[in-house]
Structure 1
Amino acid sequence: MTLTLVSFLGFTALVAVISWLKTRGDDLGRISGYFLAGRSLSWIVIAGSLFLTNISAEQLTGLNANAFSNGANVMAWETVAALTLIVLAFVFLPRYLRSGIGTVPQFLEHRYGRRMRLVASFIFIYAIVIGFLPFVLYAGAITLGQLFDIGTLFGIGQTATTWVMVIAIGVVGGIYAVFGGLKAVAVSDTINGVGLLIAGLLVPILGLYTLGGGDLFGGWQVMTTQAPERLNAVGTSADANIPWYGMISGVLLINLFYWCTNQAIVQRALGARSLAESQKGVLVAGFLKMAGVLMLVLPGIIAWHLYQQGMLEIPSKPGSEALNADVAYPVLVRSILPPWLTGFFCAAMFGAILSSFNSGVNSLSTLISLDIYKSLIKPNATDRETVRVGQLFATATIAICIVIAPYIANADSLYTLMRTIMAVINVPIFTVILFGVISKRAPALAGYVGLVFGMAFFYLTHFVLGDDLGFVQVHWLLLVGINFLLMLGVMTLVRLLKPLPEPVEIPDTREVDTTPWRYARHASWSLVALFVLVYAALSPLGLTSPSGSFVIVLGVSGVTLLVLYGLYRLIASRLRGKSAQVARSST
């Protein structure tokens, strides 16, 4: 335990010192300096921060638990995210950076008016405070408490352990987010991201080594010959956790919201020194998401095989004979990592938890300061005054979340409320923003009607009717896609009935160099090729079937890419033709 604590404290202190050295000369009294890192972030900081902001205890533990129970099919949450980052790079980022915005609701103001900005800001703030920060604190406290065995170490019970860890995470995370601004958060994210990538990849490597009885490749052979269906990533079976159509209708849309319109994510890209730097960071983050499957899904499958062979003990859920899959990942980590590596891993995990928490706090501070205080309450407030208001509200929010978080264990209604909030708002918000991008004559009324309709429809059909539409029972991921299409239909109807007399043009502030990265398309197609290759390999065409082969995988991947590239060229030529036609008609 001594080695574990020493390596944990050593790496955590190193991150804090480097973050302080990198930000000590920054002017945090300016709005741009505090909330957008002075628009100075490099691609490597953006990529690292995006990667670590997304990964926290609930993902490492939860997604691996799903993989333990359901196999590789759950990897869609990670792999599809890589594709949506391409959409962020080419569709949303150029518009965001040209308009010089600091928040996503600010973009909605440019498109739909000031009231929409306020409505969206309050929705985001409410979701962060109730549906995100307390859960990050609680999940982080439980995970670190198990990895460190805090209860045994200090001789305290589970409740006291949770309180100790919640306070520790909240206080340390608050120091970064409140006093350091976005740049301190992003720099610490990058360092912790490197640590988590190294530590996280060690888990499947040592897991395979253990599974193979001291032979890494022997462990891989066990996975591909014994129950190879656990590696099937394509949801074609009747009991698939994510059916193949759910990847398109649900997982894709939810990821588009998260990576393209979620303030906590987008804010990192907005802090770039140029569009090229931002696109580079975003697309590199896409490759990191693909690599993330090795640490977020593969360990869960390895844990299942180790359990089947009697090499890993997974306890049952309290009061039940069912296995407690939620502890599969921390149990695996404790079993295969030596003490000094366990401490390093815990430090990287601590950094991941802090990253998610810091991101929420920093985004909340930005929304309150820019969208509420400076926009609604005091428009002529100075930069320093605006920053101070954000710091005060962030501090108060941290205190509130620390108090709320431990009670999640005993309050099912609060947990349900948090899940409900995020499920109800994510796709409706994304759809309203997307419609504002593709339709320049849509009035603000289309946004309001679409937002209310989308949130009401999903809440009613999913949480009240239980995904039963009266004539058919549907998977909840399919319901997400139905909601998206209905929203587009409703908003299109409003646009046709009450079109704006003139198209809305988003202003170009020229605050940021918006020259695209010259290799952005090459990187994007490489990412698409990797996605297709991975899914072909982890399908009945490849590893999961005796009839599969490497030749078939390459052939199917090549044909798929040719078809996708042909569709891309066709759509691109149509769009260029339409743009040229609009340009001729306007002259």
Structure 2
Amino acid sequence: MTSLDWIVIAIFFLALIGIIVWVMKQKQNNAADYFLGGKDATWIAIGASIFASNIGSEHLIGLAGSGASSGMAMAHWEIQGWMILLLGWVFVPFYTRSMVYTMPEFLERRFNPQSRTILATISLISYVLTKVAVTVYAGGLVFQQVFGIEELWGIDFFWIAAIGLVLLTALYTIFGGMKSVLYTSVLQTPILLLGSLIILVLGLKELGGWDEMMRICSSVKVNEYGDTMVNLIRDNNDSQYPWLGALIGSAVIGFWYWCTDQFIVQRVLSGKDEKEARRGTIFGAYLKLLPVFLFLIPGMIAFAIHQNAIAAGGEGFLPMLANGNVNSDAAFPTLVAKLLPAGVKGLIVCGILAALMSSLASLFNSSAALFTIDFYQRYRPDTDPKKLVRIGQIATVVIVILGILWIPVMRSVGDVLYLYLQDVQSVLAPGIAAAFLIGILWKRASAQGGMWALLSGLIIGLTRLGSKVYYSNAGVEPGVDGSLFQYVFYDCNWLFFCGWMLVFCLAVGVIVSLFTKAPEPEKIQGLVFGTSTPEQIAATRASWNKWDVVHTMIILGITVAFYIYFW
């Protein structure tokens, strides 16, 4: 890091401070102001916030690392970002009409209070123990690698970077609320995009171009069926990413994440109206086409550079692990550390900071909203609006403290827990997705049906995770002859399991609904397909025009073209 790099970083922080000071001068008189930014966000702020919130450690470490280790396999999860369009076109009208602040609150409106409690509890625990913890853990690792500092003032630099990241983000989230998350994202998103684009261009220049990357990666087999690193669609017998399982699993997880997860939907709920919310999702879908090229492809580039260096008799480009294997997870920070000139490295560090801070800020704000709205306000409904803001700020502080306390646990089990994160999402998504699907698509879905769809997903998911931990520690190899229980909850490919789990949860919801009392028509009016009033239908139709449809078709066309190219 040169003086020029530090000057660039200082300018970034001055701009960030300027935005935060401006936001803090705005009114924060009630929950709508604090958690939804006063519900006056424009499509640019919504789309930028969706993208910036989504891009975090799983991209800087995980996506680039998977590109370096297995090629295009994980691209399914990024390209399924087109499902943001479902949020805008299908779900936004129902969420907007319900006037809710949180997704658990929507489930209470549609089903019952028990459904709200279940979803709020699942979301809060999963945010603190997975998303917050992994972002903080990976942030510490990234900055230790990029800065090349092992210790500072006699303290492991990992701790300084990790805790500094948390405290810095917490300060502006606590005092600025959703407005600070939205408007800092408008600054952070272009910096993140520009920085990552520079990495892509310089990486391709160092390697010798796109064709050279495709040549090297297409020569590396990833299974015994002839698939290579550049194949997105892999043989259905592939142990990790069978093509049918990948399409189904990534679609289920994508639907849950983009259409029902508080972390994403809260940005859309902050829109001033249906029109801005929908256009925000369209803008977010455009931006979401980029991570494959900004993070996964650079991982493949780093792998190709490493292969060339080894072939030339050198040490290799990527660092090695103690066991002699290549450290794929270091792909992105290694590109930053080794390829970038003075000044540009500072810009990339700002981009990495922007990615991690925006994800953390969104997590803190969403978690505080869940606690304040779905727990505190429910049991104290007459609480003064200004006090609710203070409760939200206190909740954010508590979540920050829990995140810091969880860092040692993350560091002790680091790689193992990171590998389990996709498993956690694959068993968390189906039950929640099933509850929202039957709730919005089927008028007959009863309160008990929705609740049991949610509960069955939770029970099956915990059983699957517990079984994986038990059989893994017992040294049982997947596929080894065992009981039916072992086959279902351990041997079965995680992607196929995710798909079958959704089918099962939907079946539970439908069967229970048919045997229990149907909801009263007035309770679900405007919340389910076929129940909207003529006025509501007219308002939704007035909120879009032909250009919204054109941009939607362009995004879907690019998605199809991507699948064809990397087939």
TM-score by length of 1: 0.84
Question: Which is further off, 402-411 or 390-399?
Answer: 402-411
Change (3 A) 1:375 1:433: same
CA distance in 2, matches of 1:365, 1:439: 31
1:375 shift after superposition: 1.2
Name the SS of the counterpart of 1:18 in structure 2. Answer: helix
Q: Retained in 2: the 8 A contact 1:442–1:495?
A: yes
| Residue equivalent to 2:512 | 494
Partner of 1:259: 258
Task: Verify: 1:361 aligned to 2:364, yes or no.
Answer: yes
Q: CA deviation at 1:149?
A: 1.8
For the pair 1:220 / 2:210, whether they are aligned, the reply is yes
Q: Which moved more, 1:398-407 or 1:486-495?
A: 398-407
Q: Secondary structure at the match of 1:339?
A: coil
Deviations 1:96-145 (A, max 9, x none): 01111110011001111222212221221122222221221111111112
CA distance in 1, matches of 2:190, 2:359: 16
Per-residue CA deviations over 1:273-312 (Å, capped at 9, x if unaligned) read: 1111111111111111112211121101111110111075
Q: Quick one: which amino acid aligns to residue 149 of structure 1? A: G
The CA deviation at 1:147 is: 0.8
- What does the per-residue CA deviation read over 1:48-84, in whole Å, with 9 as the maximum and x for residues that have no partner? 11101011123222111111111122211111122x1
Mean alpha-carbon deviation: is it higher for 519-528 or for 45-54? 519-528
Q: Which moved more, 1:248-257 or 1:9-18?
A: 9-18
TM-score (norm. length: structure 2):
0.87
Q: Tell me the residue number matched to 1:505.
A: 524
Asked if 1:342 is matched to 2:345, the reply is yes
Among 516, 535, 556, which residue is 2:563 paired with? 535
- Structure 2 matches for 1:113-512, cutoff 5 A? 113-151=112-150, 154=152, 156=154, 160-212=156-208, 219-228=209-218, 229-236=228-235, 238-239=237-238, 241-310=240-309, 312-318=316-322, 320-376=323-379, 378-411=380-413, 422-461=425-464, 463-464=466-467, 470=484, 473-500=491-518, 502-503=520-521, 504-506=523-525
Query: What do the CA deviations read for 1:298-345 (whole angstroms, capped 9, x no partner)?
Result: 101111110111075222212x12111111221122111113111111
Alignment of 1:35-46 (within 5 A): 35-46=35-46
Q: What amino acid is aligned across from residue 15 of structure 2 in structure 1?
A: L
| Partner-residue secondary structure (3-state), 1:309 | helix
**Contact residue 282 and residue 552 of structure 2 kept, 8 A:** yes
Asked if structure 2 preserves the Cα contact closer than 8 Å seen for 1:96 and 1:270, the reply is: yes
Match of 1:75, SS? helix
Match of 1:71 in 2: 71
Contact 1:131–1:419 (Cα < 8 Å) also in 2: no
> Among the aligned pairs, what percent are the same residue?
28
**In the aligned structure 1, how far is the partner of 2:217 from the partner of 2:396?**
49
Deviation string 1:438-487 (CA, Å, 9 cap, x unpaired) is 12222221122222222222333454166778367432111000000011
Structure 1 residue 491, shift from structure 2 partner: 1.2
Q: What is aligned with 1:585?
A: none
Shift of 1:237: 7.0
Name the stretch that deviates more: 170-179 or 462-471.
462-471
By how many angstroms is 1:419 displaced? 6.5
Q: Which residue identity does 1:505 align to in structure 2?
A: I
CA distance in 2, matches of 1:368, 1:460: 26
Counterpart residue number, 1:550: none
CA shift, 1:352, in A, is: 0.9
TM-superposed CA distance for 1:196, in Å, is: 0.3
Q: Aligned partner of 1:474: which letter?
A: C
Q: 1:237 and 1:417, CA in 2 relative to 1: closer, same or farther beyond 3 A?
A: closer
1:356: how far off? Answer: 0.9
- Once residues 461 and 119 of structure 2 are traced to their aligned partners in structure 1, the CA distance between those partners, rounded to angstroms, is 18
Residue aligned with 1:347, SS:
helix
Aligned length: 526
Q: Which residue of 2 aligns with 1:557?
A: none
Identify if the C-alpha distance between structure 1 residues 142 and 292 changes in structure 2 by more than 3 Å, giving closer, same or farther.
same
CA distance in 2, matches of 1:42, 1:61: 31
In 2 relative to 1, CA 61–421 (structure 1 residues): closer, same or farther, beyond 3 Å? closer
Letter in 2 for 1:425: L
User: Counterpart of 2:47?
Assistant: 47
Consecutive unaligned residues of structure 2, counting only runs of 5 or more, are: 219-227, 472-477, 528-532
